[in-house]
Structure 1
Amino acid sequence: MKIKLILCLIVVVRGNPTNSSCKEIHLNNKPHKKHVLGMGLNRPYQLAYDHNEHKVFFSYNIGNDTEDTFQIGYIKKDHIKHENVPDVVNGFAIAVDNKDNIIYFGGSEGIYKQHLKPNSTVEKILSNHNIWDMFFKHHLYFIDYPSQHLYKCIHGKSGIETEHQKHIHEKIYQYVIDGDDDTFITNETGLYLIKNGTTHRIFYGEPTVFRAIEVNNKGVAYFSAKDGIYVADKTSNKLEIVVHIKNIFGITFDKDDNIIYSSPYEIIKILPERCK
């Protein structure tokens, strides 16, 4: 993918943003209030949350109408203006290890990592891969583009090495491991659950647009589709909607498991409050 540098219009405001008119929605049938964390962004994807510094990381499009070119940015706590992560070429994918305070960035030229502490630098750890998506649990997993195959990063004698996860043989778009160590994947035919220790796929739904799959701090997998956010009912092997929100691009969770999601131009946190 060709990289271009262009100017992106942003709204510059410092302080804790509030909405001029309260927007109330119902999450799990309980009233919640939307709080805008960031705005003026073009399709923010791949959200991730730093539990220590309370930063929201994301990728967003800085390209034109005919070519997508991505940059990784972040928003600090109580700021609405975003800043950019340097040195990641066409950065698109993000995964965070909040236990060891490390964040990983994936771009068109490989994978980078940064320690989540002040004045830390971005370090490239893997080359020769174009990264589509990433997920961290005990190990860093990534989906390569354009093959759409799944790999696991391991520590080898010469540094980071990759293992092709051959039990997932098909092309996939998303991959997560939940709190039961079960795996969810999406491919061109739909959403599937793979129980821990097996290769059998349990079908969860017809092909649809899942722009994000994320696991909260309790290990529950959440799925954002065209009409809202869903969770999996493992008893019936079906998805259940928890909140109706259209056109979601990314999803993550703060330290208290409040949902943070992105619309085409904003990043929003949902808090259990009523509009007054």
Structure 2
Amino acid sequence: MLLTILILLYAPTTAIESNNVNDVTCDGLIFQDVYYEKEIIVKNLGRPYNLVYHKYTGLLFVSHTIQLGSQVDFGIISCHINSKQCTPIKGVPGGYAIGYDSENDDLYFGGHDGIYKYKFMSTQAEFFAEDGKSIWGIFIRRNFYYIEYPSQKLYVYKIDKFVQVSEAIGIEILTFFISRNLEIYFSNRTALYKVDKANEYPVMLSDALIVRQIIEDNYGDVYFCAADGIYMDDKPFHRVKRVAKIKQGFGMTFDERERIIYSDISNIYRLNPSNNSVYCYDKLIYLKDEEI
């Protein structure tokens, strides 16, 4: 990722830039071998899933669990990335799925009873399609896809209606993503798979990850937010590599400056460059070695 390369090139050569080593608290995160400070965007949420950042408004859309008496349901909120003020999205019962159509700058939500389209001017969601269907996931690139719950079947919009994707019949889908290079990624309870131009059939990348979100940065790198951290597609090899260790990762996206935004079980963070990057990196790596 270009951001990581630039930070490495211009990182301070001194071990620490603080006047007093005792003033430095290294409670950030190492991402791709660079230490970053963690900025809390939102805290005390219930399992923040499906992070989608809208760069034109500075709004971060996220689904999370909400307590309704003795029952647990899902809801979608929008949070301004700078003011950190959050607003619930009304009109989407059990709102969970979030999909962004970057070509047309349209945002869609999925809940217990169908797909909804978000109106930025009115900040309201209006019913769009698939009345009565429970929507698990939405993905839009060239075509409009959604995952139905609880069957985990994958559907695509063709000729004025949604039909099941023929290549995915009989395959359970939990997460689905198509890169700008038209590489297809999907995961289920069995493994994480990839289908690229060189392979007609899915190739397993890992059978050990619990994948909760798949995203791509502006440079074509594909990332997987998993329960134990953030991984990336280790091209051209058919494998993944972990680039950040996170306890209970739930979602991930990038802001307009390609800064990483991610969530754990209750909070959403943004990673910012650190003046003490070299010192804290060495300190955390040393502590990790000591634990071993």
TM-score scaled by length of structure 1:
0.84
Is 1:109 the equivalent of 2:100? Answer: no
Deviations 1:87-120 (A, max 9, x none): 00110010112332211000010000114x3325
% identical aligned pairs: 28
Q: Alpha carbons of 1:62 and 1:242: their partners in 2 closer, same or farther (altered >3 Å)?
A: same
Match of 1:172 in 2: 173
Q: Is the 8 A contact 2:157 2:163 kept in 1?
A: yes
1:63 maps to a residue whose letter is: Q
Task: Please name the residue that 1:6 is paired with.
Answer: none
Taking the TM superposition and a 5 Å limit, the aligned residue runs for 1:34-45 are: 34-45=38-49
SS of 1:136's equivalent in the other structure is strand
Q: Specify every segment of 5 or more residues in structure 1 that has no aligned partner in the other structure, as ranges.
A: 1-20
- Contact 1:180–1:196 (Cα < 8 Å) also in 2: no
2:89 and 2:124 in contact (8 A); partners too? no
The offset of 1:262, in angstroms, is 0.9
SS at 2:57 equivalent? coil
Quote the Cα distance in structure 1 between the aligned partners of 2:224 and 2:184: 13
In 1, Cα distance between equivalents of 2:157 and 2:38: 37
Verify: 1:194 aligned to 2:183, yes or no.
no
Establish whether residue 122 from structure 1 lines up as the match of residue 125 from structure 2.
Answer: yes
Say if 2:65 is the partner of 1:51.
Answer: no
Q: Which has the larger radius of gyration?
A: 2
SS in 1 for 2:256: coil
Cα distance in 2 for partners of 1:201, 1:65 equals: 43
1:144 corresponds to: 148
How far is the alpha carbon of 1:247 from its aligned partner? 0.8
State the distance in 2 between where 1:90 and 1:82 align: 18
Q: What is aligned with 1:15?
A: none
Structure 1 residues 121 and 82, CA gap change in structure 2 (3 angstroms) = closer
Q: 1:154 to 1:52 in 2, by over 3 A?
A: farther
Change (3 A) 1:226 1:77: closer
Amino acid at match of 2:180: G
Are residues 1:31 and 2:35 paired?
A: yes
The amino acid across from 1:148 in the alignment is Q
What SS does the aligned partner of 2:166 have? coil
Alignment length, in residue pairs?
A: 252
Which one of 94, 98, 111 corresponds to residue 98 of structure 2?
A: 94
Gapped regions of structure 2 (runs ≥ 5):
1-24, 278-292
Contact between 2:75 and 2:94, CA under 8 Å: does it hold in 1?
A: yes
What is the rounded CA distance, in whole Å, between the counterparts of 1:120 and 1:180 in structure 2? 33
For residues 191-219 of structure 1, what are the alpha-carbon distances to aligned partners after superposition, in whole Å with 9 as ceiling and x for unaligned?
Answer: 11111485411111114311222222333
- Contact 1:183/1:196 (CA < 8 Å) preserved in 2? no
Richer in helix (by share): 2
- Cα distance in 2 between the residues matched to 1:167 and 1:96: 23
Task: Quote the offset at 1:154 in angstroms.
Answer: 4.1
Do residues 274 (structure 1) and 291 (structure 2) align?
A: no
1:40/1:162 Cα in 2 relative to 1: closer, same or farther (>3 Å)? Answer: same
Deviations 1:57-87 (A, max 9, x none): 0011112697430110010132233110110
Q: 1:84 to 1:174 in 2, by over 3 A?
A: same
Shift of 1:180: 1.4
> For residues 273 and 118 of structure 1, do their structure 2 counterparts lie closer, same or farther at Cα, with a shift above 3 Å needed?
farther
Write the distance in 2 (CA, Å) between the matches of 1:233 and 1:64: 42
